[in-house]
Each structure stands twice: as structure tokens, then as C-alpha cells.
């Protein structure tokens, strides 16, 4: 006997049926957010390709912010702890989240990391996502804002190649602009591409080498 059950359109999002496939993660993300809000903490999800300069950027921002407010870092990395070690040198709480074969952080992993550190006194948590511009887009973590880091060394078409990531971002950092000329990449064109996808988003050109844009990014993040 063949039977078909069909959810009527108004039932499709019914959580009781658990038919929404990303709902489990979304629920955990809301729990993380509630925990963070209760402690007055803003979490920032930092995304970008491998080698786009996420760790270095976070490191530079911590140097600027740690004397003013409590900062911690969660480092997502498939296998290594070298990024975590680099951040730990700055004497701020840091949790390494090894995803081993996973290509994105999810809300469950962030929930675990939140229970690893003392949240009292913290104001800002940087969550460095896995170096991947596709997967993390669909997995909210509970952060208040998402920063996408794209560097000129990734070429002129990085934004066009990964539109989904930018549609969900709150701030875009175009990194390594000191190398733009050598790479023959137009920073203005990259920024234009971002605004074609999402007109109201803030785009900040930056260089961790000469310090371009870093104060502006720090100001922007503290204001979120």
C-alpha cells in the first residue's frame, strides 16, 4: 500500500514536523545568541577564503581593541592550531574549533566553545570561520554580524564567484590592497561588484601590512 503525506503550505515550516532541514542549526544559533546577549557580548563571524588574511586581520584588530574591551577568539580550522597559537600570543582567551573533515562551523560547535571560556567581562568574540566561501553561508552561528574578507590576491572575480556569501554579509573587507597594483586587480571594481549584489553594505579596503583601513574596521565593529 502506497501512502503519500503532504504538508499543506502553511505547515511546511512547522517545527514540530522537523521538516525544515536547517532548523536544528538555526535553533542552536538562537540559543547562542541569547547567551551572548545575556552577557552583553557581540559575536562577529569572520569568513573568507584560505589565505585571505582572516587570522592576521583579527590579530591586528585585537591589538587595537584588547586594552579597551574584553575580546576573545574562536578559531575554526580543519586540522591545524597554528592560527590559534598566533592569536594566543596576544594573551586573549582563544578556543580552537577543529572541524577535521567539516568545511564549516555550525551553531553546535559554537555553543560548545561558548561553554569553554568565562564569558564574564567579554564584549567582543571573533569567530574565525573555516576558509571557505561557499559552505558557511547557510549555517548561522548566533553572531550579530558577518564580516567577509576578500583579498586582492584572490583575483578580480572573487565577488562574482561567491555571491551567496556577500548577500548575507554585514561588512566586507577588501584585504591586501597594498598588493592591488602588483596583482593588477581593481579594488574599486571589487567594491562595485559587492554593491551590485547588496547596495547598502559597507566595504572597507584594508592592508594589515601598512595599516590601511584597520582603525575604520575596529570602529565599525565596536559600533555593531
Query: Contact residues for another protein (CB under 8 A)?
Result: 1-7, 12-13, 18-22, 24, 101-104, 106, 132, 134-135, 137-139, 157, 160-161, 163-164, 167, 196-201
Cell (9 digits) for 78: 580543519
Question: In this complex, which beta carbon is closest to another protein, that of residue 88 or of residue 201?
Answer: 201
Smallest distance, another protein to C-beta of residue 84, A: 21
Q: Is 62 exposed, middle or buried (0-12, 13-18, 19+ CB in 10 A)?
A: buried
Per-residue CA distances from 52 to 66, 129, 130, 149, 160 (Å): 23, 12, 11, 6, 16
Question: In this complex, which beta carbon is closest to another protein, that of residue 69 or of residue 167?
Answer: 167
Smallest distance, another protein to C-beta of residue 53, A: 19
Cell (9 digits) for 150: 576578500
Question: How far is 130 from 151, CA to CA, in rounded Å?
Answer: 16
Question: In this complex, which beta carbon is closest to another protein, that of residue 34 or of residue 167?
Answer: 167
Question: In this complex, which beta carbon is closest to another protein, that of residue 87 or of residue 105?
Answer: 105
Smallest distance, another protein to C-beta of residue 77, A: 14
Smallest distance, another protein to C-beta of residue 25, A: 8
Smallest distance, another protein to C-beta of residue 203, A: 13
Question: How far is 61 from 38, CA to CA, in rounded Å?
Answer: 24
Question: In this complex, which beta carbon is closest to another protein, that of residue 119 or of residue 197?
Answer: 197
Smallest distance, another protein to C-beta of residue 102, A: 7
**How many CB atoms within 10 Å of residue 27?**
13
Question: In this complex, which beta carbon is closest to another protein, that of residue 33 or of residue 162?
Answer: 162
Cβ neighbors of 46 (< 8 A, separation 6 or more) are: 54, 57, 58, 126, 127, 128, 129, 146, 147, 149
User: Strands 42-48 and 145-151: what pairing?
Assistant: parallel
3-state secondary structure of 218: helix
Amino acid at each position: 500500500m502506497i501512502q503519500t503525506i503532504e504538508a499543506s503550505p502553511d505547515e511546511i515550516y512547522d517545527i514540530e514536523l522537523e521538516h525544515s532541514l536547517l532548523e536544528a542549526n538555526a535553533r542552536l544559533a538562537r540559543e547562542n545568541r541569547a547567551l551572548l546577549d545575556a552577557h552583553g557580548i557581540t559575536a562577529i563571524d569572520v569568513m573568507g577564503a584560505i589565505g585571505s588574511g582572516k587570522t592576521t586581520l583579527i590579530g591586528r584588530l585585537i591589538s587595537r581593541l584588547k586594552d579597551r574591551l574584553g575580546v576573545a577568539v574562536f578559531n575554526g580550522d580543519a586540522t591545524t592550531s597554528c592560527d590559534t597559537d598566533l592569536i594566543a600570543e596576544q594573551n586573549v582567551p582563544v578556543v580552537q574549533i577543529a572541524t577535521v573533515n567539516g568545511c564549516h562551523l555550525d551553531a553546535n560547535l559554537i555553543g560548545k566553545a561558548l561553554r569553554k571560556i568565562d564569558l564574564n567581562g567579554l564584549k567582543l568574540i571573533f569567530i574565525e570561520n573555516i576558509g571557505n566561501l561557499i559552505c558557511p553561508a547557510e549555517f548561522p552561528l548566533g553572531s550579530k554580524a558577518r564580516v567577509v574578507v576578500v583579498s586582492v590576491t584572490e583575483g578580480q572575480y572573487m565577488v562574482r564567484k561567491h555571491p551567496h556569501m556577500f548577500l548575507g554579509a554585514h561588512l566586507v573587507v577588501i584585504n591586501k590592497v597594498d598588493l592591488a597594483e602588483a596583482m593588477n586587480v581593481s579594488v574599486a571594481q571589487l567594491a562595485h561588484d559587492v554593491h551590485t549584489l547588496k547596495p547598502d553594505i559597507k566595504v572597507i579596503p584594508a592592508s594589515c601590512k601598512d595599516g590601511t583601513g584597520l582603525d575604520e574596521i575596529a570602529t565599525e565593529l565596536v559600533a555593531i
